[in-house]
Structure 1
Amino acid sequence: MNNFKLRFFVLPFLALSFSNFIHGQCAGTDSVIEICNKDANVSNRNFNLFAELGGAPTTGGTWSTTNPANFNALSQNSGIVDLWRINNYGVHVFTYNNTACNQTATVTINLGGYPGEDNIDGSANACSDNASVNLNGFLGSEIEGKVQDFNGLWEEDPSTATGFISGFSFDAFSAGPGTYIFTYTTGTVASCTSRTATLILEVHPSPEEGTPEDFVICTNEDFSSLTNVDLFDFLTGQDPNGTWSEGISTNQLSDLNDSFINIDEINTNLGYGSYPFTYTVYPTHPVCTEKKATVNIIILPVLDGPLVVDNFCLGDTYVVNLSYDNTILPNGQYNLEYTLNSNSGLKTGIAQDVILNNGIAQFSLDPTLVATNEFITIDIISTIGTVPAQDVCPTILVDETTFLVSNANTTVSEICVNTEATVELVNVLDVSGGMANGLYNLEYTLTDPNGGTADITLTGIQLTNGNSSFLIPATNFLLDGEYAINLTIEDTFPTNCNLGALFNVLATPEVIQLDLLVDNNCDAIQIDVLIDAPVLVDGTYIITYDVTQLGSNTVLTTNTINFTGGTANYQIDVDTLPIGNYTASVRSVQDDTTLCRLVFEFEENENFSRGGVPDAPQAVANQTFCLSDFPGGPTLMDIEVTSSGDLLFYASETDTDMLPITTPLVDGEDYFISNTDTLNNYEGTERIPVTVSFSNPNAPTSTNLNPMFCAENNPTLLSIDIDVTAGSSIVWFDASANGNALDATTILEDGESYFAATTSSGSCTSTNRLEITPTVVTVVPSSLSGDTLVVCGLDNPTVLQLRTLEEEIDNDVFWYSTETGGTALNDDIALIADTVYYAENYNAATGCSSANRVPVTVDLSNCDPENYDFFIPDGFSPNADGRNDTFFIPNIETIFPDFTIEILNRYGTSLFKGDKFKPAWDGSNGSSTAPNGVYFYIINYKKGNSEPIQGRLYLNR
Structure 2
Amino acid sequence: MAKNYFNFLHFVLFFIFFTILPTQINAQCAGTDAQKIICDIENPANETLSLFSLLGGSPTPGGTWSGESNLKILDPTTGILHPQLITRGGTYRYTYTVPATSGCTNNKAVVTLTIGAFQGVGSQATVCNDSNFFNLFTAFDSNSMSPHSNGRWTDVNGRTLTNPSIYIGDITEKTTLQYTYTVPPVLACSTAEKSTTVFVTILIAPKPGTPENLDLCGTTDLAGYTNLDLDGQLTDQDKGGIWTGPGLTSDTDHNVNLKELFDISGPGEYTFTYKVLAVPDNYICKDKSSDVVITLEKRIDFTGSKIVATKDICESEISTATYSAKITEGPDGIPNGEYIVTFNVNGPVSGSEDVRVICVNGELNFHIRSAYFQQVGKSTITVTNIVQVAGKKLCTNIFSPFSTDLNVYPLPRLNGATITSTPTCQNKAGLMQINAPQLLDGNYRITYNINGDNIATGETAIIKAESGKASFEVPRNLNVKSGLSVITILNIVNITNPSPQCSNTANVAGNLIINPLPNATTVSVAVNNYCLNDPVSVAVSGLGNLTNVKISYTLSDSNSAALQTVTQVVTNGRIDFIIPAGLLLNSGNTKITLLNLTNMVTDCDSDLINVSDDFIINPIPVAPIATDQKFCKVDEAAIANLEPKGSQYKWYNSATSTTPLAATYILKTEDYYLRETSAAGCISEATKISVIVYDTAAPVMNDTPDFCGLANPTVQDLSNKTNVAGTVAWYDAVNGNLLPSSTPLVHHVTYYGYDLDGNTNCLSVNHIEVVVSLQDCDTSQYDFFVPDGFSPNGDNVNDTFRIPDIEFLYPNYTLEIYNRYGNGMYKGDKNKPAWDGMNYEQSGIAGGIAPNGVYFYVLHFNKDNKPPQQGRLYLNR
Which range, TM-score by smaller chain?
Answer: 0.3 to 0.5
TM-score, normalised with respect to structure 1: 0.37
TM-score, normalised with respect to structure 2: 0.40
